[in-house]
């Protein structure tokens, strides 16, 4: 769930880059981010239609998810300055959609499952809009937030791993609420880094924002499923 912690900004900060270059990075990031949602939807649809991820429960599912996610992120980091960067990123988003399909399938089992998914999607879009708006008007340097968000994400990841084995609904709710807060703040931080010239590679920027959006959506969906799922 919280693999976002490995996408802290790289050391190639370029705070001296021009405004035109910053806007180019932001524009390319938004285009690639929109494109990355297509493989995610495809992966989720295939996962739900085939049930391929239904057997990935408990520790096995955790190992497959974390192993695949960290492996892909390592590959993205290594290829982000080459022609292979975009295809590797899109393959990663397909994998993430596939991993998300198990939760989506469970939510679709509710009578109001489709409505819950649309609500989670709308809520995530709303969070992104608010954070993008804030990032464009806040003049203060937010780079100092990074270390605190990193610590928060690490604690959250440990809690989520423990709860995989405990299986507590209350624990899942608490983790989901915390994740929405932390990754919404990460969204603001990552957008501000692009606008301030702190992130100059649009593939890295897309990866960071994608993980923010993925975690907010997944957490909202889990929360809505626990609190608002209606059984037949």
- Residues 102-146 pLDDT 10s: 899 989 988 888 999 999 999 999 999 999 999 999 888 888 888
Q: What is the pLDDT of residue 53?
A: 78
Least confident among 30-34, 157-161, 185-189: 157-161
- For residues 140 and 132, is the Cβ–Cβ distance under 8 A? no
In percent, the amount of the chain with pLDDT more than 70 equals: 91
Exposed, middle or buried, 13 (CB in 10 Å: 0-12/13-18/19+)? middle
Distance separating alpha carbons of residues 197 and 22, to the nearest angstrom: 6
Q: What is the pLDDT of residue 39?
A: 97
Q: What is the pLDDT of residue 58?
A: 66
Residue 12 pLDDT > 60: no
Q: Give the chain's end-to-end CA distance (angstroms, integer).
A: 29
Closest C-alpha to 3, from 66, 71, 96, 62: 66
Residue 13 pLDDT > 70: no
pLDDT tens string 75-93 = 999 999 999 999 999 999 9
Confirm whether pTM is higher than 0.75: yes
Q: What is the pLDDT of residue 56?
A: 72
């Amino acid at each position: 769930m919280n693999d976002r912690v490995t996408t802290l900004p790289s050391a190639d900060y370029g705070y001296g880059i021009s405004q035109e270059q910053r806007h180019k990075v932001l524009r390319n990031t938004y285009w690639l981010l929109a494109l990355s949602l297509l493989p995610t939807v495809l992966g989720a649809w295939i996962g739900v239609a085939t049930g391929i991820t239904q057997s990935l429960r408990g520790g096995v599912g955790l190992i497959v998810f974390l192993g695949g996610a960290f492996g892909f992120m390592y590959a993205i980091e290594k290829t982000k300055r080459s022609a292979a960067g975009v295809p590797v990123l899109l393959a990663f988003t397909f994998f993430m959609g596939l991993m998300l399909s198990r939760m989506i399938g469970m939510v679709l089992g509710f009578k109001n499952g489709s409505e819950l998914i649309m609500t989670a999607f709308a809520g995530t879009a709303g969070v992104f809009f608010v954070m993008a708006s804030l990032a464009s008007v806040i003049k203060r340097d937010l780079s100092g937030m990074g270390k605190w968000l990193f610590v928060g994400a690490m604690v959250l990841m440990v809690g989520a791993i423990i709860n995989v084995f405990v299986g507590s609904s209350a624990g899942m709710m608490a983790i989901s609420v915390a994740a929405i807060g932390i990754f919404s703040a990460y969204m603001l931080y990552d957008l501000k880094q692009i606008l301030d010239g702190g992130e100059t590679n649009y593939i890295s920027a897309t990866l960071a924002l994608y993980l923010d959006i993925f975690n907010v959506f997944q957490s909202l969906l889990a929360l809505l499923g626990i609190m608002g799922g209606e059984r037949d």
